Structure 1
């Protein structure tokens, strides 16, 4: 007797570094094995984040230390996802088959993936799968950058440099939810957007350098990295905090090292953000979303078969908010 054909799934694969055209659609083996603390998810949508872009191009070379020296270590890209639980491991207690979830895990650009329970949370009930997939990584980065690294408190004044990107649009809303006064730095044609997200003040970076102004901030959340640490320090209050989460890995690493050297010498604090994915923060973000305090800003949704177009759009630098893949 002939054996039954093994089940397969549609996925995006990356076998080499390069432009978006190196991505291919393929039929891969179905992830049938689930570890005791893992969950298999039917992926309905996946978010595009900076890590996807850097791991796609393999540039700067520094990223290959994590992604794979010669070829990508994980051939299916993508980390932020939303979908439905299909199978749970023997030790999983928080989820059951049929529940809608969102998570950060490897291999998101595929019809199915396996995610550890500790990276998983229930999807906000008032969001589509595409909206929910925009939250992991970007919103987690914004939340941890402001609440934990920035130690932002109600009544304080925060500046978000890069307020219209994937992290920035979340940062403006989360800062308002934390009770802060928010200044958003953006292009002139994005002023209406950031105001609709809750920004109290808007700085047009084409006409004004925020580091040359007289206003002082308790927290500067730098998502661009286009000003020196010295210039950013000028606009901080004496005990203010500069949070660095900006740009390609190599320049970001140089700024991180500079912050470590300079911070002990001045009254303010300059620190690089190390965002860590976890279910507790996804739960916290779900509460903010369901309370109406945070809404994902989606720039465009692409079908899985248009993955190269989606990455070209993201890499153009013109997207506002998040770029998302639909994998239904």
Structure 2
């Protein structure tokens, strides 16, 4: 089968289309014929091996000189080709979506049953592939948000941000978004009642929950935007700029160290993908409360260009990879 392969860290020049052995569904696994995948910030982090500290922190994804799995990609949507021993609730031919640890930038993918769910009925394969990691991250970050709360989302036009605006709005929160000029109207259309254009506006006010997805502001500045009884949520952030040792992990660590000494609660939640989370997202999508927003689509052979586009800092919302018709 065709797959995008990378064996050593570096630029997108390290990515190559190659013929690799088609995986087999083991016990508890499902073999998926991938119809679409999507690109996340995690993919350029893995491609670059950046930040360098990650090479020693997460050995399931990173090795010292290259990715743990030469075939990258997490988000996918496709059809069930075969099921392994013990899988009885998914049938061959069903349309599914989910997030694998790796291996989605390929024609076939073997994935544990508990990391996929049935595809939302009202989405195409490309749209469904845009959902899992970004939408589940947004859902995790906003677990404590209730109706009537004032929520500030910094980085509202990115993959996670577009889902976060919609989920916070669906929960009945008053949403304020921070994005660039070209994304202001898009943020409003997704449910933001107020929008700061960071290229010309100073972000002001106090909020019950501040979600920082950009990683461009100091911890002191972020805390100044949170009510004393509120919550600061740190996630994502950072762009490739020649390489880093700590990247956004530095801000997360400072936030954790400051927790005992500041009034607002500081959270650095880590999303855990599961079939249950995908089922919850499917319900939100099929009800019309949430929809994926796609910036661009690329064929599998142009996955390197898709990751380059994400690295260029110009990408907004989601970038998808079409694998098969």
TM (norm. structure 2) is 0.94
Which sits farther off after the overlay, 177-186 or 233-242? 233-242
Contact 1:11-1:28 within 8 A present in 2 as well: yes
**Structure 1 residue 209, shift from structure 2 partner:** 2.5
Larger radius of gyration: 1
CA distance in 1, matches of 2:11, 2:184: 32
**4+ runs deviating over 4 angstroms:** none
User: What's the offset of the Cα at 1:59?
Assistant: 2.2
Cα root mean square deviation, aligned: 1.2
Counting only pairs closer than 5 Å after superposition, residues 158-173 of structure 1 correspond to structure 2 as 158-173=151-166
Cα contact 1:158–1:182 (8 A) shared by 2: yes
Q: Is the 8 A contact 2:158 2:317 kept in 1?
A: yes
Deviation at 1:252, TM superposition (A): 2.2
- Structure 1 equivalent of residue 251 of structure 2: 255
What do residues 28-51 of structure 1 show as CA deviations (whole Å, max 9, x unaligned)? 11113x222111100000010011
Partner of 1:204: 197
Contact 2:50 2:247 in 1 (8 A): no
Q: Does 1:100 align with 2:95?
A: yes
- 1:71 is matched with 66
Per-residue CA distance 1:1-53 (angstroms, 9 max, x = gap): xxxxxxxx111100211111111101111113x22211110000001001110
Q: Check conservation: 1:55, 1:63, Cα contact below 8 A.
A: no
**Separation in 2, partners of 1:300, 1:235:** 33
Matched, 1:15 2:10: no
1:155 positional shift? 0.9
TM norm structure 1: 0.93
1:269-322 Cα shifts (integer Å, max 9, x gaps): 012121111111111111111111111010000001111211111111111100
Distance 2:66 2:181 in 1: 40
Deviations 1:220-267, CA, capped at 9 Å, x for gaps: 010011111122112211210000002248232222222122222222
Alignment correspondent of 1:217: 207
Structure 2: gaps spanning 5 or more residues: 239-244
Report SS of the residue matched to 1:61: coil
Q: Any unmatched runs of 5+ in structure 1? A: 1-8
Structure 2 residue aligned with 1:270:
266
Report the alpha carbon displacement of residue 218 of structure 1 after superposing the two structures with TM: 0.6
User: Which residue in the other structure is 1:60 paired with?
Assistant: 51
Mapped pair 1:138 → 2:134 = yes
Please state if 1:112 is matched with 2:112.
no
How many angstroms apart in 1 are the aligned matches of 2:236 and 2:116?
26
| Contact kept? 2:51, 2:247, Cα under 8 Å | no
Q: For residues 106-154 of structure 1, give each alpha carbon's deviation from its aligned partner in whole angstroms, at most 9, with x where no partner exists.
A: 200000010101111111011000000001111110000111xxx1011
Which of the residues 21, 29, 45 maps onto 1:29? 21
Q: Which deviates further from its counterpart, 257-266 or 126-135?
A: 257-266
Q: Which residue of 2 aligns with 1:5?
A: none
Matches within 5 A, 1:312-327: 312-327=308-323
- Answer whether contact 1:41 1:83 (CA < 8 A) is retained: yes
